[in-house]
A and B are shown apart, each in its own frame.
Chain A
Amino acid sequence: MWRRALRGGPAFIGLRSGGTKAPWGFHGPRACSAPALPADRITVLQAVDFWTKQFEGKGVSEPELSSRYITAYLLGAKTMESLEQQRLKEFLSKEETDRLWELCTRRLSRMPVQYVIGEWDFRDLTLKMRPPVFIPRPETEELVELVLTDLQRLLGCGDTVLEVGCGSGAISVSLLKSRPQLKALALDRSQEAVDLTRENALRYGVQDRLQVHNIDVMKDADTLLGLSGSAAVLVSNPPYLFSQDVATLQPEILRFEDRSALDGGEDGLNVIKQILTLAPRILQNQGRVYLEVDPRHPPLIQQWVEVNVDSLQYIETRNDICSRPRFCILQNEARKPDQD
């Protein structure tokens, strides 16, 4: 069943715009100038073309990609490229056309494609997406890769990972799926995120190894410390945008995604600093912190940790695929090795 995106965006109640000859259609209050259903049958390619032009006309970003993703989803595929050429020339059924019109109309309000189709790929997973829970970004796929590579050096079975700000559960579910012996503890201040993370964990059968809690790391630090044992890894894609930059974000983000998943304060470091402050009490000795951050952050974080968090050692900065500094790795040196 489709949930309407009621939070943070215009409500869609009907699809019908006036003056169509189509024998079928939805009746109800006019939505924001949604195009009428076609009078005749159309092919897949014609539908893609039609909606590309609609999106272009209304200034919707990525008009062709949006049209292609939504249409592919309708036809049971991830991308148009993975469909048979023959399929593209076939006519859509009435039901398919109705459904396509319903989905594409949602995109007209600048709803992100991921929310329109209710899912998205993250590494080898297909995760449920639902507004206003933050949509995983491609950069975060690399964060998971970094953690996985490092987990190999930790040989213990039943190691625990702690994730702060789990959102849809992308990071935790990914890690658990890749490492059958791993356990994870995931937190988010949003109950909707907690719910969605649990759904995605269930979808991939890792729910028995994942605990999800509705905890705000800024306000409930004590609760968090009471929960966690000694984690091998602390991982987070925390809100890291600078407050002043949030106002300039594209409508897809501003209207539909949870602002608190994005806004890291004046310098974008509010949540990051809190995580790093708590890290020595969350991590086992030699345990590591993996953070996704704003490209301006790494040197700032390095300096700040040097002064403010005694036992955290800054290990390195890694770049993302667009060569921007994106990931910070730190290590908990609770005791010096020769003091053990």
Chain B
Amino acid sequence: MASSFIRQMSIKSWRLLWGASSPGLSQLLKPSQPGITCVLAAGKNDLTDFPELVEDELEEQFVRGSGPGGQATNKTSNCVVLKHIPTGIVVKCHQTRSVDTNRKRAREIMREKLDVAYKGELSEVLVKKRESELRKQVKRRKVNENLERKKQFKEALAAENKPGNDSL
């Protein structure tokens, strides 16, 4: 499992978070559909409407060293690096000297960045949709105009061929 792999890394340990295995994050974890479906529900400005994080989509890195940890170690490294796998967005947080606090703040920053990223994509999608709708409308109009012109041409021809009719 990843745990033996992690212990082999001498300086850094990447850790994939699964579900609620990490007690520090229980209040940030909410069940939600990953991807675009939950985003369509968001789209306002305050923090509570930022996209929810799905821990399965995050990779977290702590520079903790390979030592035994706990009481046996006094290391002061508590910088947190958080990566969102689907978008590749990386957040680094070293605002405080508490690992727990840095992890929570990294997630807050990640939610803000994801909001911008998703909103950006969303508007791009809509713009493209609108453009394609416009193109269809223009095409339809042209087709109708052609049909109309042909119809009138035929009518004019028919009228010409009728004796005693001098209108077009």
Contacts and interface: CB of A to CB of B under 8 A. Distances in A.
Contacts of B94: 79, 81-82
Contacts, number: 115
Given A62-B77, A245-B72, A249-B72, A138 B6 contact: no
B75 interface: yes
Contacts of A240: 70-71
A295 B4 CA distance: 13
A319 B21 contact: yes
A145 B76 contact: no
Interface stretch (B31-39, B98-106, B134-142, B156-164): B98-106
A145 B71 CA distance: 18
Most chain B CB atoms below 10 A, which of A139, A262, A295:
A139
A118 to B, nearest CB: 13
A157 to B, nearest CB: 21
Contact of A69 (B3, B76, B103): B76
A323 B6 contact: yes
B73 interface: yes
B96 A79 contact: yes
Interface string A68-110: 0100000000110110000000000000000000000000000
B98 A318 contact: no
A215 interface: no
Interface string B12-36: 0101000001111010000000000
Contact of A321 (B2, B62, B96): B62
Contacts of A114: 74, 76
Given A82-B95, A123-B98, A322-B6, A137 B73 contact: yes
B88 interface: no
Contacts of B101: 121, 123-124
Contacts of A333: none
B74 A135 contact: yes
Contact of A142 (B15, B23, B97): B23
B15 A321 contact: yes
Contact of A124 (B60, B75, B98): B98
Nearest to A262: B71
B120 interface: no
A149 B26 CA distance: 8
A262 B68 CA distance: 14
Nearest to B95: A82
Given A123-B98, A145-B23, A257-B74, 9 more contacts: A66-B76, A69-B97, A79-B97, A114-B76, A122-B98, A138-B100, A146-B23, A249-B72, A320-B69
Query: A-B pairs with the 3 shortest C-beta distances?
Result: A121-B97, A121-B98, A141-B100
Interface of B: 2-3, 6, 13, 15, 21-24, 26, 60, 62, 64, 68-78, 94-101, 103
22 contacts: A62-B75, A62-B76, A69-B76, A81-B95, A82-B94, A114-B74, A121-B98, A121-B101, A122-B98, A123-B100, A134-B71, A135-B74, A138-B78, A141-B100, A142-B100, A249-B72, A252-B74, A253-B74, A262-B71, A294-B68, A294-B70, A295-B68
